């Protein structure tokens, strides 16, 4: 049983979103997603300053097993990336909701987050897989 923190929002493509206030959101992948992918070996992140739309493929999580696209859960500007993942991609495995975060976004429209899944909704997505 993988953990799905209640305070986060989720995309059906397994990204999580944390509201940091002031229209800033942190994005990562769920514990379930890192478990499916297995040991992470590279994480390719977007550039700070990139403007992306919800659903754009903006990053790649590459594990020993497979390469998986990561999609922007909402539209906005990339304002920070987790550079520590360059040397320690395995942090995505060990702490997917904490130090294993991928990037931060300034949302074009913060209300877009409301349309994402809550923990219960995301659990239902996992159960269907």
Partner 1 sequence: MANRTPLFDAHVKAGAKMVDFHGWDMPLNYGSQIEEHNAVRKDSGVFDVSHMTIVDVAGAQAKDFLRKMLANDVAKLSVPGKAQYNSMLNEKGGVIDDLIVYYFSDESYRLVVNSATRERDVAWIEKVASEFQVTITEQTELAMVALQGPKAAEKLRLVLGDEAFAPVEGMRPFMSVQVGDLFIATTGYTGEAGYEIVLPASEVEKLWDDLLNVGVQPCGLGARDTLRLEAGMNLYGQDMDESITPLEANMGWSVAFEPEDRNFIGREALEKQKAEGHDKLVGLVMREKGVLRHGQKVVVDGGEGVITSGTFSPTLGFSIAMARVPNSVGETAEVEMRKKFVTVSVVKPSFVRNGKGLV
Residue 52 or 107 having the CB closest to partner 1 = 52
The two structure tokens encoding residue 100: 């294993």
Interface with partner 1 (CB under 8 A), residue total 13
Please say which residue, 65 or 109, places its beta carbon nearer to partner 1. 65
Alpha-carbon distance 31 to 117, whole Å?
Answer: 15
Q: Which of 50, 56, 62, 112 binds partner 1 (CB under 8 A)?
A: 62
**Distance of closest approach, residue 69 Cβ to partner 1, in angstroms:** 9
Q: What is the distance of C-alpha 106 from the center of its chain?
A: 14
Could you tell me where the beta strands, DSSP code E, fall in the chain? 9-10, 15-21, 24-29, 40-44, 51-52, 57-63, 67-71, 76-81, 103-107
Q: What share of the chain is helix, strand, coil (3-state, %, to 5)?
A: 25, 35, 40
Stretch in the footprint of partner 1 (CB under 8 A) among 26-34, 39-47, 102-110, 115-123: 39-47
**Least distance (Å) between residue 14 CB and partner 1:** 17
Q: Is 44 in the site for partner 1 (CB under 8 A)?
A: yes
Binding residues vs partner 1 (CB under 8 A):
38-39, 41-42, 44, 60, 62, 64-67, 90, 93
């Amino acid at each position: 049983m993988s953990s799905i923190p209640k305070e986060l929002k989720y995309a059906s493509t397994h990204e999580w979103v944390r509201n940091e206030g002031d229209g800033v959101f942190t994005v990562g992948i769920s514990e379930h997603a890192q478990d499916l992918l297995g040991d992470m070996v590279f994480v390719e992140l977007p550039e700070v300053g990139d403007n992306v739309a919800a659903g754009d493929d903006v990053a790649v999580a590459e594990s020993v097993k497979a390469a998986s696209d990561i999609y922007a859960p909402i539209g906005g500007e990339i304002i920070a990336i987790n550079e520590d993942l360059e040397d320690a991609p395995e942090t995505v495995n060990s702490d997917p909701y904490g130090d294993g975060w991928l990037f931060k976004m300034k949302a074009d429209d913060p209300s877009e987050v409301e349309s994402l899944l809550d923990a219960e909704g995301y659990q239902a997505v996992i159960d269907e897989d």
